[in-house]
Amino acid sequence: MIFDLQNPLPTHFGSKKKALLLTRRYRSNMMLNPLNLTHLNRMDESDADIITLNLEDAIAPSRKKEALHNIALFLSHMEQAKSMIVVRVNPLGEGGEEEIAFLNDFAFDAVRIAKIKNQTQIAQALTLLSPDKELHISLETKEAFKDLHTFGIDKRLSMANLGILDLLTSLGLPQSLVHADNPTIDYILSKFLVDAKTAGIHPVSFMFQDYNNLETYRLWCEKEKKMGFESKACMGPKQVTIANAVFSYDAKAYQRAKHIKEAFEAHSARGINGFMDEVYGFIDEPIYRDSLLILGSF
C-alpha cells in the first residue's frame, strides 16, 4: 500500500518515482476510478498487468480536477508497482491537453486518449506527451475503426483498447448486439485485431460490464484467445485473475516452442531449414518464427 489511510493524506506531492518494469505482460488491463482512494492505494500490489486510471467517462465534470489531483498525489508517493500504470485522459479539445501537460512530470508509463478519430489527433498527442511515455488510444469511434490500420505512425503509439459500447453507438448499432455468438461482434473483434496488428499496435479487447458474471467473462476471454488476442480489459481483481489465467501460455506451449527453437537452430547450423521432428512433425522456418513469438511472450 502507498499510504496508511487511517491517517490524513499528505497535502503536497512527493518526489518518488516508481521503478521501471523489467518485464511486461499485457494479459489484464484493469480500470480504476481515481476517486476511490482505497483502490488507488493498492496500485503497487495489484496483480493486473496494466492499471488504467480513468479520468474520462466515469468521472463527473465537477470532480475531474479532484480525480487528477488524486492520481498525481498517489503516483508521486509510489516507489514501485508490478503493473504498467496508464492514465486515461479526456478527449483532445475536452481537457485532454491540459491533463497531459499536468501529468507529464509524474512517473507512470503511458497516457491513453479517449475518442481518437484520426492520425492528426495522434500526432498532436505525441507532441504533447513527454518522450519517456507511451501513447495508448481508446478505439471508440467509427472513424478510428475504419482507419486503425494506418495509425502506426510512431512507435510510442503502442496500444489500442477497444471501447465496444461507444463504438457501437458511433456506428449506429445497439449495444444489445454484444453477445458471444453475434457475427457482427465477431467481425468487429476480428477487424480490430488484424488492423491493430497491421499497424504494429497491441490490441486489448473490450470491458465486460457485468462484473459478477464471471462465467461469461471467462467465455469471452477464451473466445478472444482463440481469435488471437492476448489481452482483455478488466473490472476489478476477480476479472484480473481470470484474464491472467486464460491469456497465459501454459507449460506445454512453452516446452513445445523451446523444443522447436532448439531443434531448428541445430538443423539450421547444418544448412537444413526444413525437417521431420520425431516429436512435433515437420518443422521449417515459419514454424520456428512462431516458436520465437511464443517464447517472447513468457
**pLDDT digit of tens for each residue in the chain (298 aa)?**
999 888 899 989 999 988 777 667 899 999 999 999 999 999 999 999 999 999 998 899 999 999 999 999 999 999 999 999 999 999 999 999 999 999 999 999 999 999 999 999 999 999 999 999 999 999 999 999 999 999 999 999 999 999 999 999 999 999 999 999 999 999 999 999 999 999 999 999 999 999 999 999 999 999 999 999 999 999 999 999 999 999 987 778 888 999 999 999 999 999 999 999 999 999 999 999 999 887 876 6
pLDDT in the model for residue 298: 62
Q: At what angle do helices 96-103 and 64-75 cross, to 10 degrees?
A: 20
DSSP at 133: S
Helix ranges restricted to H, the chain: 37-41, 64-75, 96-103, 119-128, 142-147, 164-171, 183-198, 214-227, 237-246, 251-268, 285-295
pLDDT in the model for residue 252: 83
Q: Three-class SS of residue 242? A: helix
How many other β-carbons are positioned within 10 Å of the β-carbon of residue 174?
Answer: 9
> In CATH, what number does 28-246 get?
3.20.20.60
Contacts (Cβ under 8 Å, ≥6 apart) of 289 = none
- Helices and strands, counts by H and E, the chain: 11, 10
C-alpha 14: how far from its chain's center? Answer: 27
On whether the pTM is more than 0.85, the answer is yes
Domain ranges for the chain, please list them. 28-246, 251-295
Q: Please report where in the chains the cell 500500500 appears, as a residue.
A: 1
Q: Three-class SS of residue 111? A: strand
